[in-house]
Structure 1
């Protein structure tokens, strides 16, 4: 009897599940638990006095209000913009939909600090494009983006593709019978939009609003590059500035601020979940091909407006970024006499810090992608298993990964500093100040990104394949390797590429974790721009944007081998 019990406890699948959940708890849950412990229970006993004292500070109150105000306004702008684009592209007969979707989602894959740099150069007095058109502000004039409106505009444009993605997915899930019945009853396209489409989209719109709010709240790159010169302190900026002060109580102080930022995020997500549950409508019927409402004579005008909008949000900043990278000094007009490739040569061949940053980001992105893909395979298996116990236990690990992804990257950075600032027990090895702490933070923060495509693949899989493998005597490990791994490999690869893109371009997580020798692309670009080396920042940003576009185009090669919706810009 004892042997049977021991065999049941130490079965390979159960042992794997337990180890997997423990690993996710150590990576995602434990750092956040340490952060909240230092913030609200510094002596081991829950005490909200530090939070009350922090909230009583005028600087914290101002930063909190600015964060809430700008994030709320930016999320409203993102919902209006993203929803309008999703409705026009998703429900009408505009042409080149695939290209339009790709271009609309492209800003979501470009680092926020690169977006900020591009717009700063596009709309400033030294803008090469506006100067050529005679529309540039006068030299010495205040930059139009260095204001509350400018901060809201960039945060909203950065979050709009996320709203577009979610609303478009919701539109594609609508049963066609609803719209067909409305059309047969004589309803116009406008009436159908107001009476059917928008009410049914309410849960998706609410979810998009909450996610856009959270994304704007934790956005460090845009807040730093616009908020600092505009003198608009926000919570991410305050955390960054206080951690850089190196005072005796810096960690407890920063921990309290991070707890405030984390609590605001969790409250927003909780409110979203609660309201979505009350607003959800049960739909009858299978999703079918979306509508293609004929625009008739208006199609050309609508397409013109779409392409003009894309030109404004992509071509103008991209052209300004490239023009800045091709001149010797920022502010000089681009022409035959000022054209130079020296900035690209500097960042690609001469500067050791940029070469190191490219190498570090490539290595970290690749390792994080590979690690997340390896963890996603068994976790997705257990999340879709027949055993209710296995699903619940696996869901505990997945839930922690979702929380780590949802909270702002700066909060996770502080959590990892607290978790790894001391040497590891038993091993007596310190990871703080090394690439390893950034890698672990990447795995924790982006685990949810790589997991979703793998779950989608498992949900579409016939589990009779596993039954056949069991009957043939294949153990758990062999079933994973021989049966499931080959079938979900395209989805895992798609998720891994998304993780690589996210990690390769990010700055929020590594902003507080990097040190000399562990620079990333994001931190190097930010430091160049912050230090006044604008042309080098522009050149490095152009390289990053080109690399992002190439990788996104290469992902299209997986489109036919992965479940529908795995690649965001493909149906």
Structure 2
């Protein structure tokens, strides 16, 4: 196979594959929701928008997502500025702990906080400050929902703003300080204006993530009677009526249009706010806090302690009592809940095996796709570059669309047997795996594309002149150079897929459970102590994975561990 044919075959194959798993399901969703007898029909959409339940759920989704995105942007930016620009100590540990909530499944976060602040909270009861039994739970409200969404998504903003700070040329800060500008003036006049695109991206990502969040919206919103669009879709699909698929397809189209509109507005505003910078990126200044450093550090550590320790302690205490609501004491202490989920419940062990297997396979597959796709996306012009750009755009859309909508789209795409093979993927682990690859491909592709952008592509020209074909160039030059970035993306994909519940909420079946759906079903079914025990195991497993990767950081190339510099 000559080099031209190998390149053409690879880019066409990748483009077709991404079109099938990213674009085709969404096209079928829009076809069911908006196409009638071969022509565009907006009547179902207009009827849905006239429905009181849909309008109320739409408003609830917009309200909670916007408020939580604003709060997450403020909180994430404040933490990034303090840790990124000042001389606070233990920055590496602080970054690790701030990012930890992002790695914890949203439904586990909701369960932990429900148990931490409710009338039956073992910690609050032990301290004699728990709300009275029978009183309303303080989290079952709009403010409770916004608080949990903020805590879940503020690490996203923190990551983006911290990365933007590290990309600034040092000369900006030096010039301002030489001119006599103090830290507050530098922040208002230089840093925050230049952070505009990053802040806009953080807000948009937080908004879209909150819009599609199912775990927190379900566990907090349902008891609070605050139904959002993802929960409405889940409820309608669970009704199994004769017109259930067209009905949820229309609602899913509404949710998709809102998400894509938010992303489009973010892109437009980012372009207008962008400022050209001259100079190489360098480590930002470490502004001395002087005598205020102990106070600032105390505030940061108190915040982290409240966010992590209170819900974690409540989760552990709930997992260690015989029945939910009992005070934790020597008489009520038991490890039966852990024994139940680890050894007696076959569904639990199966869920751990399923999630570990398909998350790892999805991460490896995405890494394998991202390396050649990133090459064509950055280095190639003409038809190859256009095909790669279209494929990357489809991956971005699949990531931006809420996971519950993508699961509906995959049901529509794969509910019938595959042509020629006559094999149905619906009701198997394969449909969850393909959905993971589709939804998280953009996560793995971004760091690889960034690595190719930083590369001198004259390497490619030199290899061509030396007679190296496409396969050999990829194997001996580009794959080794971008391997750390591909590994970083794969780690993020694995951690995201390992604990997720939104995508698999509608795709799982008996024998094909995931960790996320099993915990959600335990809590939804009233088995609170079992849900707490399994949640504790998942949190411990996530922390062990992240610590192990931190230990490996010195033995792998820089950039392999995504949260390390």
Q: Give TM-score scaled by structure 1 length.
A: 0.96
Contact 2:123 2:314 in 1 (8 A): yes
1:187-238: CA deviation from partner (whole Å, max 9, x where unpaired)? 2211211122112212211111111111100000000000011100110000
Aligned to 1:115: 109
Q: Does structure 2 conserve the Cα–Cα contact (< 8 Å) formed by 1:122 and 1:128?
A: yes
* Residue 268 of structure 1 pairs with residue 292 of structure 2: no
Task: Specify which of 211, 217, 221 is matched with residue 227 of structure 1.
Answer: 221
The aligned residue for residue 129 of structure 1 is 123
Task: Determine if contact 1:176/1:289 at 8 Å carries over to the other structure.
Answer: yes
d(CA) in 1 for partners of 2:537, 2:557? 31
Correspondence for 2:530 among 536, 539, 551: 536
Which of 179, 189, 208 aligns to 1:185? It is: 179
Q: Is 2:492–2:562's contact at 8 Å kept on the other side of the alignment?
A: no
Residue from 407, 411, 415 that aligns with 1:413: 407
**C-alpha distance in 1 between matches for 2:156 and 2:432:** 25
1:167·1:201 contact (CA, 8 Å) conserved in 2? yes
Q: Which residue does the alignment assign to 1:209?
A: 203
Shift of 1:468: 5.0
**Alignment partner, residue 507 of structure 2:** 513
Q: Indicate the residue corresponding to 1:171 in structure 2.
A: 165
Shift of 1:472: 4.8
Contact 1:457/1:562 (8 A) holds in 2:
no
| Residues 321-342 of structure 1: CA deviation (Å, up to 9, x unaligned) | 1111111111111122222211
2:281 matches 1:253: no
Give the whole-Å Cα distance in 1 for the aligned partners of 2:102 and 2:504.
Answer: 19
Number of equivalences:
565
Contact 2:106 2:215 in 1 (8 A): yes
Task: Return the alpha-carbon distance in structure 2 between the equivalents of residues 86 and 207 of structure 1.
Answer: 15
CA contact (8 A) 1:453 1:566 kept: no
Which residue of structure 1 aligns with residue 304 of structure 2?
A: 310
**In terms of mean alpha carbon deviation, does 132-141 or 117-126 score higher?**
132-141
Question: Partner of 2:379: helix, strand, or coil?
Answer: coil
Partner in structure 2 of residue 370 of structure 1: 364
**What is the rounded CA distance, in whole Å, between the counterparts of 1:43 and 1:434 in structure 2?**
31
SS of the equivalent of 1:135 reads coil
SS at structure 1 position matched to 2:38: coil
Structure 1, 280-289 or 11-20: larger mean CA deviation: 280-289
2:37 aligns with: 43
2:484, 2:559 within 8 Å by CA — same for their partners in 1? no
- Tell me the residue number matched to 1:106: 100
Deviation, 1:135, is 1.7
- Distance apart, 1:557 and its partner CA: 4.7
- Does 2:344 match 1:350? yes
* CA–CA separation in structure 1 for the residues paired with 2:479 and 2:559: 20
Structure 2 gap segments, 5+ residues each: none
Contact preservation (8 Å) 2:484, 2:560: no
Relative to 1, partners in 2 of residues 1:426 and 1:445: Cα closer, same or farther, differing over 3 Å?
same
What is the match of residue 3 of structure 1?
A: none
State the Cα distance separating 1:563 from its structure 2 match. 7.1
C-alpha distance in 2 between matches for 1:385 and 1:522 = 39
| Residue number in structure 2 paired with 1:290 | 284
- Determine which of 388, 396, 420 is the counterpart of 1:394: 388
Please, which moves more after superposition, 131-140 or 505-514?
A: 131-140
Structure 1 segment 24-43 matched on structure 2, within 5 A = 24-43=18-37
Do structure 1's residue 331 and structure 2's residue 340 form an aligned pair? no
Q: What is the distance in 2 between the residues matched to 1:523 and 1:178? A: 49
- The structure 1 residue matched to 2:545, chosen from 551, 555, 561, is 551
Q: Give the Cα–Cα distance (whole angstroms) in 2 for the partners of residues 279 and 235 of structure 1.
A: 31
| Secondary structure class of the residue paired with 1:11 | helix
Deviation at 1:30, TM superposition (A): 0.7
1:45 and 1:532 mapped to 2: Cα distance? Answer: 46
Cα distance in structure 1, aligned partners of 2:293 and 2:277: 31
2-structure distance, mates of 1:36, 1:161: 33
Given that 2:2 and 2:469 are in contact with CA atoms closer than 8 Å, whether structure 1 keeps it comes out as no
**Alpha-carbon distance between aligned partners in 1 of 2:110 and 2:168, rounded to the nearest angstrom:** 36
The Cα of 1:564 is off from its aligned counterpart by 5.8
CA contact (8 A) 2:170 2:283 kept: yes
Distance in 1, matches of 2:236 and 2:111, equals 24
Match of 1:434 in 2: 428
Alpha-carbon spacing, 1:69–1:382, altered in 2? closer, same or farther (3 Å): same
Deviation at 1:345, TM superposition (A): 1.1
Q: Which residue of 2 aligns with 1:59?
A: 53
Superposition misfits of 4+ residues, deviation over 3 angstroms: 386-389, 459-474, 557-568
- Compared CA separation, residues 450 and 128, structure 1 to 2 (3 A): same
Out of 432, 435, 439, the position equivalent to 1:445 is 439
**Is 1:150 aligned to residue 162 of structure 2?**
no
Q: Would the alpha carbon gap of residues 173 and 43 (structure 1) be closer, same or farther in structure 2, given more than 3 Å must change?
A: same
Where 2:276 maps in the other structure, the secondary structure is coil
Report if aligned partners of 1:220, 1:236 keep a CA contact under 8 Å in 2: yes
| Aligned residue number for residue 479 of structure 2 | 485
User: Which whole-Å CA distance do the structure 2 matches of 1:523 and 1:508 have between them?
Assistant: 9
> Is the 8 Å Cα contact of residues 76 and 157 (structure 2) preserved in structure 1?
yes
Q: Could you tell me how far apart the structure 1 residues matched to 2:181 and 2:5 are?
A: 61
CA positional deviation for 1:559: 3.8
1:120 partner SS: helix
1:490-510, Cα deviation, whole Å (9 max, x unpaired): 332222222111111000000
Query: 1:291 Cα deviation (Å)?
Result: 1.4
Contact kept in structure 1, 2:406 and 2:435, CA below 8 Å: yes
Match for residue 315 of structure 2 among 316, 321, 328: 321
Distance 1:558 1:257 in 2: 45
